[in-house]
A and B are shown apart, each in its own frame.
Chain A
Amino acid sequence: MEKIFAIINQMEADGVIGRYAIGGAVGAVFWLEPITTKDVDVFVALPTAPGSTLLTLEPIYEYLLAHGFAPEGQFIVIEGWAVEFVPPGTPLVEEALVQAVERDVNGVATRVCTAEHLAAICLQVGRPKDHDRVIRFVEAGVLDAELFEGILQRHDLMDRWRKFQDTYLDS
């Protein structure tokens, strides 16, 4: 996994991508117990071409293919892992990307979304596996309640959070 982080760091240094942050299940593993997953989600700011507002993943694919990595659907396979580069699709993910924190993995620096942002994204996406992950975040005691509620308020997720608590947390 460290090799993947090193490659993404190099992409950032080479200007192929802007700021990045690890999200999804791999991002959650930085805060929780290991959770099995098939892919690595990388939230990424994409540089736009001069005079254009169009965002495209093409430079990422071109760069990685030139470095010998293979595409597989929307993923690029790096070190046996399906890696997906995801431009932020919501203001919440944009904020998660901006406020992501640096972490060291066996001597390799990387950037990961905060636990509070990952939990809020799960709440917003709202699939059963996302709800399960929110419960894990709560049970692990890794969420700063004030930070988390601040995020939920900014992104209009308080109603959803109250319903979630009624359904899953109140006994």
Chain B
Amino acid sequence: MTDLMKQLTARKVERRRQLAALPVGEKLRMLEEMVAATKMISATIPSKPINPVRARR
């Protein structure tokens, strides 16, 4: 592993520890936001693709 990758991994672990140290009420609120955001993505219906044959007319 390169030094840069080691630094990134160490930063990731440190950030996780910082988040883990937050009050549990705050962490559960963040979890609710994450889940709501995921539901919004899955609730988004993509628009129909344009029919290239009709588009030419």
Residues of A within 8 A of B (CB): 1-2, 26, 29-38, 103, 105-106, 136, 139-142, 171
B28 touching A29, Cβ below 8 Å: yes
Residues of B within 8 A of A (CB): 1, 13, 15-17, 19-20, 22, 24-25, 27-32, 34-35, 38
A32 surroundings in chain B (CB, below 8 A):
16, 19-20
A140 surroundings in chain B (CB, below 8 A):
16-17, 20
17 of the cross-chain contacts (CB-CB < 8 Å) are A1-B31, A1-B32, A2-B25, A2-B28, A26-B28, A29-B27, A29-B28, A30-B24, A33-B27, A34-B28, A34-B31, A36-B31, A36-B38, A37-B35, A38-B35, A105-B25, A141-B17
A105 surroundings in chain B (CB, below 8 A):
24-25, 28
